[in-house]
Structure 1
């Protein structure tokens, strides 16, 4: 596993990947190595998260200035910043661990990262779960997390639809991690070959 200096210096390389994001048919067929597939979809996920969150901000601001019925703009902007920052940090950490450091812990590390990405995606929908369980009233901490991490989503089906666009890269990143955990480090056989 790399040291802390390697981690922080890798932000430059990661930023360069983000600046040169592209989508190709190889990404959908997983015909390159699983590391390459993970990296390509990780970059798409990161850029997609930023773009989707910015689109969400624009839609919210338009609705806010039309109706002024959705709460504080300041809280929403803070929540939007957090909604961009946290996935960016998790995506970079995942890229550093999976691509640069071969999962950090081998097969177990790859499998854990596959689960982490699924949890990160599903966490976007946790306000609905908290609402149904009536847990969001149970503590000040949960209330603050709900306010800043999921602001505007509690009563917004369209927000869930917008964020669902990110399911595609999440599935491919998780699939890549699980394939690497099963020993598919060098070449993939395509997504359908892996699932057979």
Structure 2
């Protein structure tokens, strides 16, 4: 529920920053943090957020913020993992997080596939309490990377559902797949 409430607040802050053409990911996340800080303190929760800014003309993705790893399957089929642990700080825990936010620039070539996901996927449990896991997620993406982004996303969700079976879903399952043209 907390994540859902935050995801109602964050888009408003994001749209405001986009309207003012703020291109710097560190300032971007710092401003979002400032906007939602008081609400997060009132809710007594801690959440992480990643920000991925795409520059289509330059074929560049700027990643900031601490969340799950970003996966990029290159046009040759090899997967790369980008850890975000040093790129940010939980949103709303401190008034000013600018000094904790960094960015990673990833250059994309035609055919590269970018995958962002929530831990609801990697931590999805089956009836035997086995987690879906990051390795399985990467394997499914590597098998399907040559398909469209929508087809790759569908293949992952289908595999996660197959893994979960009749088990109750305990967390949100969010997946973003983007393929560079």
Give the TM-score normalised by structure 1.
0.25
- Higher helix residue share: 1
Higher relative contact order (Cα pairs below 8 Å, separated by 6+ residues): 1
Give the TM-score normalised by structure 2.
0.26
Determine which structure has more spread, i.e. the larger CA radius of gyration. Answer: 1
